[in-house]
């Protein structure tokens, strides 16, 4: 089977749509927080739990969905995830209180988490069945754009929707998107082969390492509580001891969910996770922090603040598409680190009196960062993870991005806690300058970044199985 026949537009389109649901939902809420707070008669700070709830759900569900896709079939997991997003969109759309909206965001987080890792499993298996060393560059590139770069589209789309139709539309937009994705998946994605292996509940639980998943969820929850409590620590620091039994269990079980030994052995993949977290720290700080600054300090409307980020989304798509056609890794990642550093320095010179062109220029450079890091890091994961673990590895890749997003929300919340000012914006910029410098140095010093075609036969395990 040729690449053209294996990866037709019918096969890849539902994968792109499913993968895009997560980043769009992650960022579309940014411009709806203030209207939701007014409608629910709560503080704006209280509505940030809608961001945290989805982050937590995604952090746990991404690698879990990848593991389930490897074991029970990617199409099944992909389809089930879309159904959950549909349910979450309806619950949020008719929500009358903050509890219903939190429930909706958790459902959306779990459901959207199935899209990207399941898509990576489908792509990997399709390429192997066609006898290809790697899928065409446009396939991985499309997933990169759908899986990360589309996050930059969320704020402007959300700004328009919320401005025209009200905050409910930030949830209801999922209804037409998921119905279309369900129809395309049912018609164009081949059915999974029957699940192999043990069918008894205890054997299945052992194979997917249910205890490891529960421990991972508890540890990520504790980490989120700890990070969101900063700069105050208190009892939240004690929650981090949950990581100790998780490490103990994962080192002993024969089929670990989070393969710690593999993570230590596969340094290239571990560095990809860290590089992704730091880069997403910068990208999401711009999406959320700069959006808050535009509204609170510069006095922009919700629609205006959202549309102001549109150049970033457009640039990320413009940059990532041609690069992805060649499955490049090292070059795009060097550009990602360099552009993040340059854009972060640029924010140091921005204040409420700055001309709009300067802000647009900074957004454009950050768009280069998002586009190049999406392409480079995703292709690096495809290169560095063994074929039978690509789902879990891809899920952990997305989890690392969400850890960066959680860190960005924390940094923004701490710095803008009392007031949103130019001084606070410049403090954010200083944090991003440091992160950008680390990302650039890591990339320049990493000589194990290769294209898929250059990949040697892996002799070490990826960090999850």
Q: Yes or no: say if 283 and 366 are a contact pair by the CB < 8 Å rule.
A: yes
Q: pTM of the predicted model, to two decimals?
A: 0.80
Q: Yes or no: say if 29 and 122 are a contact pair by the CB < 8 Å rule.
A: no
Would you list the DSSP string of 56-83? HHHHHHHHHHHHHHHHH-HHHHHHHHHH
Q: Yes or no: say if 379 and 452 are a contact pair by the CB < 8 Å rule.
A: yes
- d(CA 43, CA 48) in angstroms, rounded, equals 9
Residue 356, exposed/middle/buried by CB under 10 A (0-12, 13-18, 19+)? exposed
Plot region of 455 (φ>0 → left; ψ -120 to 50 → alpha; else → beta): beta
Tokens 């596969």 belong to 266
Which residue ranges form the domains of the chain, and what is each CATH number? 3-209+253-454 (1.20.1250.20)
Cβ atoms within 10 Å of 299's Cβ, excluding its own: 10
| Own/partner pairs, 445-451, CB within 8 angstroms, 24+ separation | 446/268, 446/271, 446/330, 448/267, 448/268, 449/268, 449/329, 449/330, 449/333, 449/376, 449/380, 450/329, 450/330, 450/383, 451/134, 451/326, 451/327, 451/328, 451/329, 451/379, 451/383
Q: Yes or no: say if 226 and 233 are a contact pair by the CB < 8 Å rule.
A: yes
Who contacts 198 (Cβ-Cβ below 8 Å, separation ≥6)? 204, 207
Cβ atoms within 10 Å of 243's Cβ, excluding its own: 16
Q: pLDDT tens, position by position, for the chain (465 residues)?
A: 566 778 898 999 999 999 999 888 877 887 788 889 889 888 777 787 888 788 888 888 999 999 899 888 999 999 999 999 999 999 999 998 999 999 999 999 999 999 999 999 999 999 888 888 778 767 887 887 786 656 667 777 777 888 888 899 999 999 999 999 999 999 999 999 876 655 677 777 777 888 888 888 888 887 777 776 666 666 556 666 778 888 898 898 888 887 888 888 888 999 999 999 999 898 888 877 887 888 888 888 767 777 777 788 788 878 877 887 777 888 999 999 999 999 999 999 999 899 989 989 999 999 999 889 988 898 899 888 888 888 989 999 988 988 887 788 778 878 887 788 899 999 999 999 999 999 999 999 988 886 665 444 444 344 433
Q: Yes or no: say if 146 and 19 are a contact pair by the CB < 8 Å rule.
A: yes
């Amino acid at each position: 089977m040729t690449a053209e026949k294996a990866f037709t537009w019918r096969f890849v389109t539902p994968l792109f749509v499913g993968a895009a649901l997560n980043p769009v939902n992650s960022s579309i809420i940014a411009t709806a927080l203030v209207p939701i707070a007014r409608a629910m008669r709560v503080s704006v700070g209280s509505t940030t739990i809608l961001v945290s709830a989805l982050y937590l759900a995604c952090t746990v569900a991404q690698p879990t969905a990848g593991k389930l896709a490897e074991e029970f079939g990617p199409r099944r997991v992909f389809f089930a995830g879309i159904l959950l997003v549909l349910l979450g969109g309806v619950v949020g759309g008719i929500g009358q209180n903050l509890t219903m909206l939190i429930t909706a965001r958790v459902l959306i987080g779990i459901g959207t988490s199935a899209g990207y890792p399941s898509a990576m499993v489908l792509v990997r298996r399709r390429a192997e069945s066609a006898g290809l060393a790697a899928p065409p560059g446009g396939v991985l590139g499309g997933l990169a754009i759908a899986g990360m770069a589309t996050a930059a589209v969320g704020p402007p789309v959300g700004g328009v929707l919320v401005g025209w139709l009200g905050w409910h539309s930030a949830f209801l937009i999922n209804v037409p998107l998921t119905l279309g994705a369900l129809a395309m998946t049912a018609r164009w994605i081949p059915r999974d082969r029957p699940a192999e292996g043990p069918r008894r509940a205890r054997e299945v639980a052992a194979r997917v390492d249910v205890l490891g998943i529960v421990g991972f969820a508890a540890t990520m929850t504790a980490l989120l509580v700890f990070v969101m409590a900063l700069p105050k620590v208190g009892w939240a620091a004690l929650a981090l001891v949950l990581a100790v039994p998780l490490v103990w269990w994962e080192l002993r079980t024969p089929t670990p969910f989070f393969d710690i030994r593999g993570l230590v052995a596969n340094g290239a993949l571990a560095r990809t996770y860290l590089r992704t977290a730091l880069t997403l720290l910068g990208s999401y700080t711009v999406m959320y922090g700069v959006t808050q600054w535009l509204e609170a300090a510069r006095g922009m409307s919700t629609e205006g603040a959202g549309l102001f980020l549109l150049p970033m989304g457009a640039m990320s798509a413009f940059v990532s598409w041609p690069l992805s056609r060649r499955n490049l890794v090292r070059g795009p990642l060097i550009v990602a680190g360099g552009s993040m550093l340059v854009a972060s320095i640029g924010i140091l010179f921005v204040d409420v009196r700055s001309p709009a062109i300067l802000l647009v220029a900074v957004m454009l450079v950050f768009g280069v960062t998002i586009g190049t890091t999406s392409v480079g890091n995703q292709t690096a994961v495809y290169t560095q993870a063994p074929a039978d673990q690509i789902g879990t590895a891809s899920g952990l890749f997305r989890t690392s991005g969400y850890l960066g997003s959680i860190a960005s929300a924390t940094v923004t919340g701490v710095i803008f806690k009392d007031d949103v000012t130019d001084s606070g914006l410049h403090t954010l910029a200083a944090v991003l300058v440091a992160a950008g410098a680390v990302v650039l140095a890591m990339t320049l010093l990493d000589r194990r970044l290769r294209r898929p075609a250059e990949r040697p036969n892996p002799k070490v395990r990826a960090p999850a199985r």
